[in-house]
Structure 1
Amino acid sequence: MIRNALNDKQTWLKYSWRRCQDLGFDRNGKPIFYQAEGNLLKELLEKNERLIRASEAVFRQLDQFLKDYHYRADLLDHEGYILHSYGVISEPGLMNNPALAIGTCWGETFRGTNAVSFSIEHKMPVNIHGSEHFFLENQVLTCSASPIFDEAGQVTAVVNFSSRSSNIQDNALIMAMLAADAIGYRLLTEHVKVENELLIRETEKLSSSHSQGIVTVNADSHIIYANKKAKKLLGNNCIGTAFNPSSLHTESIYPTSGYCSRRSYMIKPHTSARKSYTFDRMIAECPKVKQVIQLSQRAAATDFSLFIHGESGTGKELFAQSVHQASMRADKPFVAVNCSALAKNLIESELFGYKKGAFTGADHAGSLGKFRAADGGTLFLDEIGDMPLQAQSALLRVLEEREVMPVGDHQSYPVDVRIIAATHRNLLEETKKGSFRADLYYRLNEICLNIPPLRERGDIIQLARHFLIGLSGRSQQFTNEAENMLLSYDWPGNVRELKNVVTQASFLADGRWIDTHHLKLQTTPKRASTVAAPSFPPSAYTLEEAEKLLIEQALKTHNSNISQAAKQLGISRNTLYRKLKAYEYTE
């Protein structure tokens, strides 16, 4: 069995070396140095806080072994990023080497064949000594790595013991395995403790809130349980769908510290609060959208009426709320009204309110109306192009006089609101037809924003990836074919449709990859991609030729700006540099 394992190792090493050669690596050359920094490093360490805390305790217990045998201990995540290190002063070269700093990546595509990448790839403990490393630079090391597994049996981290290649210790791999097991045991113990605490709290909460909606979600924020009340609010088919607690009025039922694979929420009765949007939450890699955002931010500093034009689903309310949140009225109400959803005979009573008994079916207490509800704040009139002429006349009077008279009342009430109106219609054409008042149009159109449709934007893939991360973290990705399909689609429903398509695809995909058959697009004619894309049939080129052409087109589009070209291609700068070197690219 031992001989078979050794044979397997030698075979796998050959495959690893071959992959390094295919990447264009030269044994005598330099490995790629890549280190997470700034917010990326902060996010990496915060995400793995439990692992780091557990490794600190275990490595301290091995302090004497590390000192006696002059070894350094490292904890790396499942992608090979160094999260925590523990060593001794007697080996300053090992502790101060930049390639061994916190945040440095030891994945095979950066550092070539090494113990960490081998252990991650094959999910097994391994020794990689001296000349077994691909790069000569790394052959000064002897390394013993052992994986740490999560509850699902997947590699979640790696323990690596390293020293100089002249200092090979037979028991280093055993110690690495023991350390990995000890860290895994600590995580499991903490997990069970947190799960038990959650169970107790859930039981207490359920016993006192049987009339409330309760949902339980897994680690990917998908619903795995919903009681009858929750299903009434979310739909009978809510099991398996993504759950966003911030979109509802919820109270969390889970421990305030520690990790748990599931969380429960109580949905409170008051669910009318609207989700608040701000400029800093906008995803905008497209110059056209950036220009609209800049104009919106300038508009927020004024109190002029704002008119937003854009097709359905482009995010008109998102801009309206962002303007409100950035304005001097941010601490006052933001009230949204969809004019197309109101019955013609009830629009005035909805906007201006009504007195008790004003008409048959009126609430016995009367109604304040949207204008008075938004007093001091912002009133967003969505799809105002669908408002009847009679209501337009009443609205114009209120805007000019800054006071409202509720239906059935004889008294006027002063109001102080900023109006933001939006529509997908061409209101200038509507004024020519006589279906929209010209004086009202110019009264509303003091500042105008035009939001481009999704098909004219160049950040479709960035938006899709953003939505996917919000749904599944980083556990799912689009295949290249799926991304090409997203780029070629016309998106009549714009950003709203894109979000729905991504949500459904995330739900339908069983594993990590979202492919074309997961994308449920409407059968509308396709368009040519506006993002750099090959203008040739895929079968006419080899994969290498197609990749090279895509890279050349991206560099040409962005005037050889590596960062922008890499962002368009969806790869890191280091990966692009490596591919350019492999293809011997020159301008």
Structure 2
Amino acid sequence: MLDTDDHFRLIEKAVLSGSDRSDASWRTESWARCLQDYKLDPSRPTLIDLSSKEMRTEREFFDNDIALATGELETTLTMIEGGGYSAHIANRNGVIISERRSRDSTFYCGSDRIGAVWTEEVGGTNGIGTALKNLAPTAVYLTDHFYADLTGQACAAAPFFGPDGNVLGVINLSTRNPGLPQLAHRVVFGIAQITADRLETSYFRNFYRKFYTMTINVEQRSPTIFAIDSDFRIVGATKNARNLFKIDDSAIGSRSIWGVFEKIRGNPTIDYLCEALRELRQLGSSKLVDVSLKRPISAPQAQTSVSISKSIKAKSVRKITTLAECAGDDPSMKRNIDILKRVFGCGLHVLLLGETGVGKDTLTRALHYESVRAVGPFVAFNCSAVPDTLIDSELFGYSGGAFTGASKEGNAGRIVEADKGTLFLDEIGDMPLQLQTRLLRFLETQEVMPLGSGKVRTVDVQVVAATHQNLHEKVAAGTFRQDLFYRLAGTIVNLPALRERTDLITIIHNLLEQISDEGPVAVDEKAMSHLLAHPWPGNIRELRNVLTRAARLAEGGIIRSDDLMLAPVPLQTEAPSPKLAQKVASEASASSARLPIRVHGDATERGPVSSKTAASHAEREAILSAIDSHGSDAVACADALGISRATLYRKLKQYNLSLR
């Protein structure tokens, strides 16, 4: 171990010498932070150990199963047997939360114990803290340490990242052996990185165990893996995959893997590709990369040393929403569901109308899986997500060699794929006019003829079309065929926007049950009032996103208003209920004396004011009257006005009022 004074001079010389372009520049930069930013004294280490109570919090902070990490440590120790190294897991706060000691305790580092804090701000230059600071593997060998007391030990640390791409923790291998050869430590450093990679891969695959995983073999050490669903949508990506292929959070759940790589000709199924796929070409590149595609893991792996965390289990078994859950307690939705259950499968096509995010896709899936057609396939096709030039071949199919670049095997097309099942045509309003004719013919005859083929095939499908657009206006403008509209409109169902539903509280509770993966989550009164007052322009999709984020931020299982972070969206204009309209009309005639006084030069007069201003003023007075009569009883106030509680809370916010 280096003398304290000599070690200090070594640090001082390196820091004061200016730019360090050697292989040890990372060490000089860390030493500079310790001296200049943290004001640490290399001769006086101020190490911290957490209490048992504090450790409970730190283990909870490590939101993946510690047992999974500890099982990996056991494997690692067998790889470095006899080297005197012990293995540790530190969380993203730099706190050691798990360890496996070497069988030979001769070189055990007593300072590397459970509960020890090893952030760089506390422990100076060290494996765990510096790896977290730089988010990169770090090997600290003897005198690389900042504190003189630690220059007799060596540590090799490598961060590993969670399924969301953020750092999850650090693998640390350490020994207190002043005579350790540096070459031997470099070997151990490589093992630390291998362990971190394995652990990162294990967490990713377990987290996305219900999805397909595609591993990209690139010249990178870190795992490069995509999780994709059966429709080839990217639902997850490791940190390295995000960086290499420029995948951000907005792409997760919405971007197709074919937006990253060139699409396979012939549109083979994903299960076929699990057996046959070996390489892909990145879009915009001529270089092929080796890939492998694995099927979902249908059941937990039988490993006695590894337990799957509750959060992974909960997220991996999300069930299909039922019709009862779609209906909730809203009378209009219950009526819609009743109609759809009666007509679904009787030969009538269905047209779902409603704003973006109201759950048209979810409702159609529920209809399919609760009908006699559940034995057949459910095929969804988004008319706005496919280029105009590809819709024909994607929807109606083509024969082998039908056009330049066509697959030799051909493509059956989505209509044929849905035979004996349900075909969901989302955003039907965006279908090109020329293809509407082909769709109309199919709907009339139930026959489809792929491009380049003279063979006609009869197909039995239940068609459900959906759009957020006004098809009447598109028909009038000549951009949507009137005969196609009437053919699709065997049954038309208007799905209410979330702000129009009377069961918003029930929907909130149901969604929280679906997304809460670490025990029950409740909403306090103030937060609930914010949720009920928000206009929800993004409807249920927006509500789910807000609640998912809030549930992760909630302390003690209680969502508070600060956890919501609702975007400031202007309240949307909505027609008042008959009761409220009547009250507004009667109030308007009696409130002219209370309207704002208008001054014109030297003359003062009341009104006239715009009808919009008068209506708003009268509506406010009607609500005040209801509050005077019913006080803080929100249910009674809403009933008196003929509106839902959600609408009442929005009106209170709009007019800056509150219940007494």
TM-score normalised according to structure 1 size: 0.50
Contact 1:312 1:424 in 2 (8 A): yes
User: Which residue of the other structure, out of 335, 357, 376, is the alignment partner of 2:379?
Assistant: 335
User: Which residue of the other structure, out of 287, 291, 298, is the alignment partner of 1:251?
Assistant: 298
| 2:539 corresponding residue in structure 1 | 494
| 2:560 corresponding residue in structure 1 | 515
- In the TM superposition, residue 196 of structure 1 has moved relative to its aligned partner by 9.0
> How far apart, in 1, do the equivalents of 2:365 and 2:424 lie?
8
Letter in 2 for 1:509: A
Q: What whole-Å deviation, never above 9, does each CA across 1:355-390 have from its counterpart, x for those lacking one?
A: 112223323321000111011111111110111110
Is 1:398 equivalent to 2:479 in the alignment?
Answer: no
Is 1:554 equivalent to 2:550 in the alignment?
Answer: no
| 1:504 corresponding residue in structure 2 | 549
| 2:389 corresponding residue in structure 1 | 345
Cα distance change, pair 395–262 in 1 and its aligned pair in 2 (3 A): same
| 2:351 corresponding residue in structure 1 | 307
Q: What whole-Å deviation, never above 9, does each CA across 1:166-222 have from its counterpart, x for those lacking one?
A: xxxxxxxxxxxxxxxxxxxxxxxxxx9x9699959x98xx99x979951359xxxxx
Gaps of 5+ in 1: 1-148, 154-191, 218-225, 570-587
| 1:214 corresponding residue in structure 2 | 205
Letter in 1 for 2:365: Q
User: Which residue of the other structure, out of 434, 440, 461, is the alignment partner of 1:417?
Assistant: 461
Cα distance change, pair 227–469 in 1 and its aligned pair in 2 (3 A): farther
Higher relative contact order (CA 8 A, sep 6+): 1
| 1:385 corresponding residue in structure 2 | 429
Aligned residues: 351
Q: What whole-Å deviation, never above 9, does each CA across 1:264-320 have from its counterpart, x for those lacking one?
A: 979xxxx9x997443144361221211212112212252311111111100111221
Which deviates the most, 422-431 or 355-364? 355-364
Is 1:229 equivalent to 2:225 in the alignment?
Answer: yes
> How far apart, in 2, do the equivalents of 1:230 and 1:425 lie?
34
Letter in 1 for 2:429: G
Cα distance change, pair 295–349 in 1 and its aligned pair in 2 (3 A): same
| 1:289 corresponding residue in structure 2 | 333
> How far apart, in 2, do the equivalents of 1:415 and 1:402 lie?
6
Contact 1:254 1:263 in 2 (8 A): no
Contact 2:223 2:238 in 1 (8 A): no
User: Which residue of the other structure, out of 359, 371, 375, is the alignment partner of 2:415?
Assistant: 371
Contact 1:213 1:228 in 2 (8 A): no
> How far apart, in 1, do the equivalents of 2:382 and 2:522 lie?
35
Letter in 2 for 1:412: V
Cα distance change, pair 449–528 in 1 and its aligned pair in 2 (3 A): closer
Q: What whole-Å deviation, never above 9, does each CA across 1:48-98 have from its counterpart, x for those lacking one?
A: xxxxxxxxxxxxxxxxxxxxxxxxxxxxxxxxxxxxxxxxxxxxxxxxxxx
> How far apart, in 1, do the equivalents of 2:68 and 2:536 lie?
46
Letter in 2 for 1:508: L
- In the TM superposition, residue 468 of structure 1 has moved relative to its aligned partner by 2.0
- In the TM superposition, residue 461 of structure 1 has moved relative to its aligned partner by 2.5
| 2:361 corresponding residue in structure 1 | 317
Letter in 2 for 1:288: S
1:409 match: secondary structure: coil
Contact 2:68 2:307 in 1 (8 A): no
1:371 match: secondary structure: helix
- In the TM superposition, residue 420 of structure 1 has moved relative to its aligned partner by 0.9
> How far apart, in 2, do the equivalents of 1:490 and 1:424 lie?
17
Gaps of 5+ in 2: 1-52, 58-64, 76-196, 209-221, 228-233, 243-248, 254-294, 580-618, 650-660
Contact 2:201 2:223 in 1 (8 A): no
Cα distance change, pair 274–260 in 1 and its aligned pair in 2 (3 A): closer
| 1:262 corresponding residue in structure 2 | 309
1:234 match: secondary structure: strand
TM-score normalised according to structure 2 size: 0.45
2:460 match: secondary structure: coil
> How far apart, in 2, do the equivalents of 1:490 and 1:520 lie?
14
Letter in 1 for 2:298: E
> How far apart, in 2, do the equivalents of 1:482 and 1:263 lie?
26
User: Which residue of the other structure, out of 487, 496, 505, is the alignment partner of 1:443?
Assistant: 487
1:340 match: secondary structure: coil
Cα distance change, pair 456–263 in 1 and its aligned pair in 2 (3 A): closer
1:484 match: secondary structure: helix
Contact 1:307 1:445 in 2 (8 A): yes
Contact 1:212 1:230 in 2 (8 A): no
* Aligned residue runs from structure 1 range 423-572, under 5 A: 423-472=467-516, 474-526=519-571, 549-551=631-633, 553-555=634-636
| 1:14 corresponding residue in structure 2 | none
Letter in 2 for 1:285: D
> How far apart, in 2, do the equivalents of 1:463 and 1:511 lie?
22
Contact 1:333 1:378 in 2 (8 A): yes
> How far apart, in 2, do the equivalents of 1:353 and 1:487 lie?
46
User: Which residue of the other structure, out of 301, 314, 322, is the alignment partner of 1:278?
Assistant: 322
| 2:282 corresponding residue in structure 1 | none
Which is greater in Rg? 2
1:421 match: secondary structure: strand
* Aligned residue runs from structure 1 range 123-162, under 5 A: 152=56
| 1:137 corresponding residue in structure 2 | none
Letter in 2 for 1:550: S
Contact 1:214 1:265 in 2 (8 A): no
> How far apart, in 1, do the equivalents of 2:501 and 2:331 lie?
8
Cα distance change, pair 152–292 in 1 and its aligned pair in 2 (3 A): farther
Cα distance change, pair 500–361 in 1 and its aligned pair in 2 (3 A): farther
> How far apart, in 1, do the equivalents of 2:355 and 2:349 lie?
20
| 1:359 corresponding residue in structure 2 | 403
Cα distance change, pair 276–550 in 1 and its aligned pair in 2 (3 A): same
Q: What whole-Å deviation, never above 9, does each CA across 1:137-183 have from its counterpart, x for those lacking one?
A: xxxxxxxxxxxx9x959xxxxxxxxxxxxxxxxxxxxxxxxxxxxxx
> How far apart, in 2, do the equivalents of 1:253 and 1:198 lie?
18
Which deviates the most, 380-389 or 313-322? 313-322
- Using the aligned pairs only, state the percent identity: 35
2:463 match: secondary structure: strand
> How far apart, in 2, do the equivalents of 1:301 and 1:528 lie?
37
- In the TM superposition, residue 516 of structure 1 has moved relative to its aligned partner by 2.2
Contact 2:327 2:333 in 1 (8 A): no
2:364 match: secondary structure: helix
Contact 1:215 1:227 in 2 (8 A): no
Q: What whole-Å deviation, never above 9, does each CA across 1:460-498 have from its counterpart, x for those lacking one?
A: 222222222222255432222211111121111111111
Cα distance change, pair 366–414 in 1 and its aligned pair in 2 (3 A): same
| 1:298 corresponding residue in structure 2 | 342
2:485 match: secondary structure: helix
Cα distance change, pair 480–255 in 1 and its aligned pair in 2 (3 A): farther
- In the TM superposition, residue 550 of structure 1 has moved relative to its aligned partner by 3.1
Letter in 1 for 2:395: L
> How far apart, in 1, do the equivalents of 2:395 and 2:487 lie?
18
